[in-house]
């Protein structure tokens, strides 16, 4: 028996990475040795001191009961202290920080707090698919902001029609950026805060890649802008920084009303992150940082290897200053989808077509730096064996 899906689910496209995972599985089942450069999932293990903290905490009986949906105060204190040390901002752990079951959960749930059916959210294009997906699930309407190479993959907020800005309730930003690897400076964040204040828009800044930088680059927080907490909430994640994607832990900080609304919504939907995971996260935020620095060194070496290799194949790729992705143009005569299909069929290499991140992604493909270096070298050798691709 089949049942009619709700309209909110029918509007959702298939999730990009679920499709990629199915495709990889099918090819491997057919006997192909597939090298996936598609999904941004760190290949290095979680640092030992974090695992040790989890091993100890999991035996504590208090963590075998329901956790608080807002998160343990000790975790919120650690998150606030980390932000003070890193960015010079100190959100109140009691009113301006809420624990998340991974940043994706918070990003998807925030629209439920502020969008009624028909309300508008300003969504970058290309972008992490959850911004549009979370909007669609509320019955909201995404208004797409083109991210172009000519503008450094920053949205041109001045180009948003005043009538659109006037009815918008949310603005999603993400720097360092997925999928483009672009970065944003203090001046851009100042203009975004002024724009949000003028039109009464809440900014959701996804800062999941803030700690992954190259050539000495360190990303700022939007909350460094004076008055930003009046109009912005920033989402942080331990996933990419500490190789903890499977642990599902992060936090939202900033605007007190938004943090409170998100906490209230979560209390009706989930029971919070496992307490032992929160204790492990405290160990991550307060512990040694050598593993983070080592990951950045490895990613930078992989970045340089891929940039040199792809440019040698005739593909023009600029080295990003941050995040774990390369955003590269497809060869002339190819679309994003046709190029991804070509390299999979002929080289057994998976790249992500840019259109998976929005219509503006046409003409681009994304490569992740989270594949072991020897497999990256092999992937480049396979692509070179295809002959000229550009």
CATH number for the 48-286 domain, one of 3.40.640.10, 3.40.190.10, 3.40.50.300, 3.30.70.1430? Answer: 3.40.640.10
Residue 46 pLDDT level (bands cut at 50, 70, 90): very high
First and final C-alpha spacing in the chain: 50
Tell me which residue has tokens 């949205």: 155
Domain 7-45+290-385 adopts which CATH fold? 3.90.1150
Phi, psi of 215, deg, nearest 5: 55, 35
> Could you please report the per-residue DSSP string of 234-284?
EEEESTTTTT-TTT--EEEEE-HHHHHHHHHHHHHH---S-HHHHHHHHHH
Under a CB-based contact definition with an 8 Å cutoff, are residues 306 and 317 in contact?
yes
The answer on pLDDT for 90 being more than 70 is: yes
Report the distance separating Cα 320 and Cα 265, nearest Å: 37
Under a CB-based contact definition with an 8 Å cutoff, are residues 93 and 77 in contact?
yes
pLDDT in the model for residue 283: 98
Residue-wise pLDDT for 95-138, tens only, equals 999 999 999 999 999 999 999 999 999 999 999 999 999 999 99
Phi, psi of 239, deg, nearest 5: -60, -55
More reliable by pLDDT, 24 or 264: 264
The pTM for the full model equals 0.95
Residue 257 pLDDT level (bands cut at 50, 70, 90): very high
* Torsion-angle region of 254 (φ positive above 0: left; ψ -120 to 50: alpha; else: beta): left
Residue-wise pLDDT for 344-361, tens only, equals 989 999 999 999 999 999
pLDDT in the model for residue 16: 65
Q: Mean pLDDT lowest for which of 6-20, 40-54, 370-384?
A: 6-20
Phi, psi of 85, deg, nearest 5: -65, -40
Buried b (16+ CB within 10 A) or exposed e, 88-103: ebebebeebbbbbbbb
Report the distance separating Cα 309 and Cα 381, nearest Å: 9
Nearest one of 45, 77, 74, 49 to 62, comparing CA atoms: 74
Tokens at residue 141, please?
């309407």
Report the distance separating Cα 237 and Cα 174, nearest Å: 13
Question: Across the chain, which distance is largest between two alpha carbons, in Å?
Answer: 61
Specify the pairing of strand 141-146 against strand 120-125: parallel
Specify the pairing of strand 364-368 against strand 325-329: antiparallel
3-class secondary structure, 174: coil
The share of the chain scoring above pLDDT 90, in percent, equals 88
Query: What is the separation of C-alpha 52 from the centre of its chain, rounded to a whole number of angstroms?
Result: 27
Under a CB-based contact definition with an 8 Å cutoff, are residues 203 and 235 in contact?
no
Helix segments in the chain, DSSP class H: 7-10, 16-29, 48-57, 73-87, 103-114, 130-137, 162-167, 186-199, 256-269, 275-286, 290-312, 336-347, 373-385
Q: Mean pLDDT lowest for which of 128-137, 197-206, 338-347?
A: 338-347
Listed by start position, the domains of the chain span: 7-45+290-385, 48-286
pLDDT in the model for residue 18: 72
pLDDT in the model for residue 22: 79
């Amino acid at each position: 028996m089949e049942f009619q899906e709700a309209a909110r689910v029918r509007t959702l496209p298939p999730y990009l990475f679920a499709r990629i995972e199915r495709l990889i599985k099918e090819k491997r089942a057919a006997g192909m040795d597939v090298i996936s450069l598609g999904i941004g999932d760190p290949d290095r293990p979680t640092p030992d001191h974090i695992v040790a903290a989890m091993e100890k905490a999991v035996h504590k009986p208090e963590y075998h009961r329901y956790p608080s949906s807002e998160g343990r105060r000790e975790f919120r204190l650690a998150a606030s202290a980390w932000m003070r040390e890193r960015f010079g901002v100190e959100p109140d752990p009691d009113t301006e920080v809420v624990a998340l079951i991974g940043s994706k959960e918070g990003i998807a749930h925030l629209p439920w707090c502020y969008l009624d059916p028909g309300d508008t959210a300003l969504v970058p294009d290309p972008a992490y698919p959850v911004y549009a997906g979370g909007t669609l699930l509320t019955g909201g309407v995404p208004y797409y902001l083109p991210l172009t190479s000519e503008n450094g993959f920053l949205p041109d907020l001045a180009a948003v029609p005043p009538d659109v800005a006037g009815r918008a309730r949310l603005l999603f930003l993400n720097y360092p950026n997925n999928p483009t690897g672009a970065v944003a400076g203090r001046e851009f964040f100042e203009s975004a805060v002024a724009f949000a204040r003028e039109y009464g828009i809440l900014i959701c800044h996804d800062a999941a890649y803030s700690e992954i930088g190259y050539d000495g680059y360190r990303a700022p927080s939007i909350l460094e802008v004076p008055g930003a907490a009046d109009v912005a909430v920033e989402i942080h994640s331990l996933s990419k920084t500490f190789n903890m994607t499977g642990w599902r832990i992060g936090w939202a900080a900033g605007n007190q009303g938004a943090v409170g609304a998100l906490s209230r919504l979560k209390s009706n939907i989930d029971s919070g992150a496992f307490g032992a995971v929160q204790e492990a996260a405290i160990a991550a935020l307060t512990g040694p940082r050598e593993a983070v620095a080592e990951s950045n060194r490895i990613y930078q070496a992989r970045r340089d290897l891929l940039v040199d290799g792809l440019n040698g194949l005739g593909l023009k790729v600029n080295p990003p200053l941050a995040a774990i992705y390369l955003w590269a143009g497809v060869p002339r005569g190819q679309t994003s989808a046709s190029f991804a299909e070509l390299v999979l069929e002929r080289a057994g290499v998976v790249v992500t077509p840019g259109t998976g991140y929005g219509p503006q992604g046409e003409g681009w493909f994304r490569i992740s730096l989270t594949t072991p270096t020897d497999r990256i070298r092999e992937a480049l050798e396979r692509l070179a064996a295809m002959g000229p691709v550009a």
